[in-house]
Structure 1
Amino acid sequence: MNIYDVSKHAHVSIATVSRVINGNPNVSEKTRQRVVAVMEELGYTPNVFARSLGLNTMKTIGIMCSDSSDPWLAEAISYLEKELRSNGYDSILCCSGYLPETKKKYLELLCSKRVDAIILTGSHYIEAKAKDNAYLLEAAKDIPIMLVNGHLDGEQIYSTVCDDQAAVYDAVTKLIQAGRTSILYLYSGNSYSNLLKLSGYRKALEDAGLPLRDELLVLCPKDIDSAMEHLKLLSSKGIHFDAVFAAEDILAVSAVKYGDQSGLKIPEDINIIGYNNSILSRCTTPEITSVDNKVEAICTTTIHTLMKVLNNGNVPAKTTITPELVKRGTTNF
């Protein structure tokens, strides 16, 4: 028997079972009695290892990410685990995917493991609709929730973010000042971060008096070949663009490959800017100009904030990291 069985038989969430086990007061007496009765009926004994030692902590932090094969997320996880180890904490990693129900399931799983806090890595955990974030607010009643490059207002929720909107605004403005007037925006989704980036792109065009052309907003899979085919399709339709801003470096790689296969000179005929300053930005010829959103600084700041939270220190609910545009061979401004 495990906590999932108790949750199912008591008709409550795993988080509620965890609260009962941990003696959390935010559970009604009626619910508490029902959960206890089910545990007795099933013969379920909760893990009281830490409590039996008289400790208030398991010295373990839960980390969630949507896809550990993503270069940016993989790098972020590496920095997070390194910082946690240096502070004497272990970690449990869950790769949740992108579906809301799966993200909720893994969050509840980590809560059931009595971790001291949960770190949500990447902006895909923040949904546009408030009701889809309710499970995070609920979990934060019990343990601190740390958001890496995502933001949500709530008690015991702490965010460390890059100023994505300003970063894209500044980069696109530099393209415009260099004489680029048909700037294609290439992106792969509508996460919290992607929406901020798109907002920066729109504002840069607006402030420069350039029209926002729907045909230059290209949503495509985060895949080099697929993105390249999208660019070829636009070209075949006679849609001209003299610059590409890619919301991720992998999409910028697609743009470089498109330019090479189309006989375009980079950066003379077309400028390309990527985002994240990942290793991918240095794997093409020419190397890609990219926005460095300071993944190491975001992660180390997250852990420093968490350590203060666990020691009852005063910390800001949101910390913003300033990005940097790293110029390489795909731009000539």
Structure 2
Amino acid sequence: MNIYDIAKIAGVSIATVSRVVNDSPRVSEKTKRRVRAVMEEYQYTPNVFARGLGLDSMKTIGIICPDVADSYMAAAVAFLERRLREYGYDCILYSSSHQQEKKEQAIELILKKRIDALVLVGSTYAGNGSDDDSTGYIKRAAEKIPVFLINGHLEGKNIYSVYSRDYQATFDVTSKLIESGRKQILFLTDSRSYSARKKLEGYEAALKSHGLPVRGELKVYTKNQVHYVRDILLSRRDLEFDSVLATDDGLAVGAVKYAHARRKKMPEELSVIGYNNSELSVCCEPELTTIDNTGEKLCNITIDNMMKLLGGQKDIPKEVPVDCCLVKRCTTDF
């Protein structure tokens, strides 16, 4: 038994059945009673399609992230799904990878579904922060439905950004390292995204503000694999550093593994700081000092603002920057 059968038996359109399901005032009480009696007789349970037919909403949100296997992405998607269910919304999830062509294809495919809004999780969708054409596909999508970016900033009509203050976070923690006596700070990253660029800019600005040079050899781009990072650092015998600032906890754990292999005491001989405050930060020994970019808070703000917008509220902020916080554990001594 489906919505078409209910409509036929009740002698109404499928749009009317949908309005009855949603208790729309546009349907008379007499018609509502008749349709509900048929639904009860045939034990019909409305699905999302039935709820949305004849209305402006399918109560469905699209979510795209580059890699759902990534711990940060997986946690964000799980939290978004729970919050959406609280509001009675379903979601459709696509993984796009980081490749430009794949990101554009993912949005093209998800827009073919009937969704009310689109959430893009991760700063890869904000491009590299420059004024180029790499984000044009998002702006075109925003001409059709509202687009919400999590941990990325992109200006455009019908685009709403909630992002961490990554620049300030890395500026502050680099300054703390310098003020505690560290002079050779290795910057480890696996990305050239908007967020990664902000982290790098904060790191470089802190060095300059303390009169230290920005050294190219101390900025290392590598794969985010713990043993790979360890082996890369072990192979660089020419590289001298007394501390590590990583843009992800996985990279930082690789630096901790390197310290163990070289028998360096932490934090006395080597300070290490990660990013994201993930489970990895407490799964290593010693436990990792890390920057918490408050991913759950970003998701909360995104969903709350989305529901306000879909509910007809007009004064939704186009961008919401959120402060990070430093979680001090055992790999730093400041």
Corresponding residue for residue 116 of structure 2: 116
Residue deviations 1:4-34, cap 9 Å, x none?
Answer: xxxxxxxxxxxxxxxxxxxxxxxxxxxxxxx
Residue deviations 1:226-264, cap 9 Å, x none?
Answer: 111221122x12x21000001100000000000001010
1:202 is paired with a residue of what secondary structure?
A: helix
Shift in Å, 1:109: 1.1
Moved more, 119-128 or 59-68: 119-128
Corresponding residue for residue 92 of structure 1: 92
Q: 1:53 to 1:211 in 2, by over 3 A?
A: closer
Question: Which residue identity does 1:217 align to in structure 2?
Answer: K
Instruction: For 1:38-187, list aligned pairs within 5 A.
Output: 53-128=53-128, 130-187=132-189
Cα distance in 2 for residues equivalent to 1:130 and 1:57: 33
Question: Which residue identity does 1:254 align to in structure 2?
Answer: G
Residue deviations 1:100-158, cap 9 Å, x none?
Answer: 11111111111110100110001111223521111111110010000000111001100
Shift in Å, 1:51: 9.6
1:102 is paired with a residue of what secondary structure?
A: helix
Shift in Å, 1:283: 0.5
Residue deviations 1:258-298, cap 9 Å, x none?
Answer: 00010100011000000000110001111000000001100
Cα distance in 2 for residues equivalent to 1:292 and 1:329: 15
Does the alignment pair 1:259 with 2:220? no
Shift in Å, 1:53: 3.4
Corresponding residue for residue 19 of structure 2: none
| Correspondence for 1:204 among 198, 203, 206 | 206
Cα distance in 1 for residues equivalent to 2:269 and 2:145: 53
Shift in Å, 1:312: 2.1
TM-score (norm 2): 0.83
1:171 is paired with a residue of what secondary structure?
A: helix
Alpha carbons 1:185, 1:218 under 8 Å: kept: yes
Question: Which residue identity does 1:263 align to in structure 2?
Answer: R
Instruction: For 1:233-244, list aligned pairs within 5 A.
Output: 233-234=235-236, 236-237=237-238, 239-244=239-244
Cα distance in 1 for residues equivalent to 2:68 and 2:308: 27
Q: 1:223 to 1:54 in 2, by over 3 A?
A: same
Alpha carbons 2:52, 2:58 under 8 Å: kept: no
Consecutive unaligned residues of structure 2, counting only runs of 5 or more, are 1-48
Cα distance in 1 for residues equivalent to 2:112 and 2:51: 14
Q: Which runs of at least 4 in structure 1 moved beyond 6 Å after TM superposition?
A: none
Alpha carbons 2:126, 2:152 under 8 Å: kept: yes
1:153 is paired with a residue of what secondary structure?
A: coil
| Correspondence for 1:188 among 187, 190, 199 | 190
Corresponding residue for residue 247 of structure 2: 247
Residue deviations 1:209-234, cap 9 Å, x none?
Answer: 00111110000011112111221122
Alpha carbons 1:50, 1:56 under 8 Å: kept: no
Alignment RMSD, CA only?
1.4
1:56 is paired with a residue of what secondary structure?
A: coil
Cα distance in 1 for residues equivalent to 2:202 and 2:52: 53
2:108 is paired with a residue of what secondary structure?
A: helix
1:136 is paired with a residue of what secondary structure?
A: helix
1:332 is paired with a residue of what secondary structure?
A: coil
Corresponding residue for residue 276 of structure 1: 276
Cα distance in 1 for residues equivalent to 2:119 and 2:159: 10
Question: Which residue identity does 1:172 align to in structure 2?
Answer: T
Alpha carbons 1:118, 1:144 under 8 Å: kept: yes
Cα distance in 1 for residues equivalent to 2:102 and 2:142: 18
Cα distance in 2 for residues equivalent to 1:52 and 1:154: 28
Corresponding residue for residue 35 of structure 2: none
Aligned residues: 284
Question: Which residue identity does 1:145 align to in structure 2?
Answer: V
Alpha carbons 1:50, 1:57 under 8 Å: kept: no
Cα distance in 2 for residues equivalent to 1:77 and 1:179: 40
Alpha carbons 1:63, 1:119 under 8 Å: kept: yes
Consecutive unaligned residues of structure 1, counting only runs of 5 or more, are 1-48
Alpha carbons 2:52, 2:59 under 8 Å: kept: no
Shift in Å, 1:50: 6.3
The alignment-based identity, stated in percent, is: 44
2:134 is paired with a residue of what secondary structure?
A: helix
Shift in Å, 1:94: 0.3
Corresponding residue for residue 324 of structure 1: 325
Cα distance in 1 for residues equivalent to 2:82 and 2:174: 34
Cα distance in 2 for residues equivalent to 1:253 and 1:162: 22
Between Structure 1 and Structure 2, whose CA radius of gyration is higher?
Answer: 2
1:328 is paired with a residue of what secondary structure?
A: coil
Question: Which residue identity does 2:189 align to in structure 1?
Answer: Y
